Amino acid sequence: MTTIADSATGRRLTARGAKTRERIVTAAADLMYVRGVGATTLDDVLAASGVSKSQLYRHFTGKDEVVRAVIEHMGAHVIERERNALGRVSTMAGLRRWRDALVQNNALRHGAYGCALGSFASEVADNDDVARQALSTLFAEWSTLLAGALERLRENGTLPPEAPVEQLATGLLGALQGGYMLAQTARDVTPMATSIDMALTHIESLSAD
């Protein structure tokens, strides 16, 4: 019988068990992203996923473990998206295309729900240290991807050798996350676009030219 390792616990799962777990996590992710972690109950997850209570508890001891699995699931999606978007960026025009894609995607929801990782951080970081550390690692990875793009700008002479790419990446990610929050409360992506544009304008002002 083929088995698969559960990435969170290391337990061996059958292919059928892995599909059941995936169904639970996907349903929980959809609910928690829209409703929030606090407003989503395990009964909601059971109804949305179509699994039994015994199946859920075969994979998770309680809601905290479900939340952590959702963070892992959403984090993998966000980081993969950002890796694809930023992996070959080496110009300011490329950074602005990255900005445009994020703003346009958020505009489809009129800014609602914000960034998946940012929304989870605001709800669980003070209550679940395991979840907080997982989110911190994901944000650090996102910042590293941004720093990599800025490093390529420094290598090709767009930015001067002394440009502090790590700090610039942190500032750019902060502008993005703040922009998501402002767009979420305003139901308008204009503040998000403005926040990122201000950060990009500062980066561009450091141009070696």
For CATH 1.10.10.60, the residue range(s) in the chain are 1-61
Fold of 67-209: Tetracycline Repressor; domain 2 (1.10.357)
Would you give the DSSP letter of residue 52?
A: -
pLDDT of residue 11: 63
For CATH 1.10.357.10, the residue range(s) in the chain are 67-209
Cα four-point dihedral sign 44, 50, 53, 56: negative
Quick: pLDDT tens for 153-170.
999 999 999 999 999 999
Parallel, antiparallel, or unpaired for β 3-5 and 12-14? antiparallel
Quick: pLDDT tens for 34-70.
999 999 999 999 999 999 999 999 999 999 999 999 9
Superfamily (CATH H level) for 1-61:
Homeodomain-like (1.10.10.60)
Residue among 142, 8, 141 at smallest CA distance from 68: 8
